[in-house]
Amino acid sequence: MARAQKKSNQVEAITTAPSNITIPQHDMIATAAYFIAEKNGFDTTHDLDNWLAAEQQLTQQTKQNLPLQI
């Protein structure tokens, strides 16, 4: 039941976003954050920074219609 509710909330969040903005999906951000962390020697004190950098990078790429580079 909780899983269905979570998925419903995710769909609602995606459908309420402005139509001209593509929102990177969680898995894409996680993968990009992993590679950023790898470049930084997997320093766990920067997990949030890695996540936010990955999110920003992917958001910019999707806004500019560039191929996603992870």
- Confidence (pLDDT) at 14: 46
Give the separation between CA 50 and CA 36, rounded to whole angstroms: 6
Annotate 28-55 with DSSP letters as a single string.
HHHHHHHHHHHHTTT-GGGHHHHHHHHH
Q: What is the pLDDT of residues 4-45, one digit of tens each?
A: 554 444 444 444 545 555 566 899 999 999 999 999 999 999
Q: What is the pLDDT of residues 49-66, one digit of tens each?
A: 999 999 999 988 888 776
- Confidence (pLDDT) at 68: 58
